[in-house]
Amino acid sequence: MTHLLLAMPSGWEWIIILVVVLLLFGGKKIPELMRGVGKGVKGFKEGLKDIEKEIGQEELV
């Protein structure tokens, strides 16, 4: 568990990461990138719900 905490970026590291992302993608591409990430997360959550429904239906049978 302590290894996971050591791998998490701290305050300054997040700032550096954000600056690098801004430099790589530019200000106009970041909203498109975030929109794509949001759609991916939404699709992932819908997939999890579908799997839970299928598991629930199999338990009833």
pLDDT one-digit tens code per residue, 21-44? 888 888 888 888 889 999 999 999
* Predicted pLDDT of residue 4: 55
Structural contact between residues 30 and 22, judged by C-beta atoms closer than 8 angstroms: yes
pLDDT one-digit tens code per residue, 9-21? 788 888 898 888 8
Enter the tokens of residue 12: 């300054």
In this prediction the pTM is 0.55
User: Among candidates 45, 47, 44, 18, which has minimal Cα distance to 33?
Assistant: 18
Q: How far is CA 3 from CA 7, 8, 47, 53, in A?
A: 6, 9, 30, 35
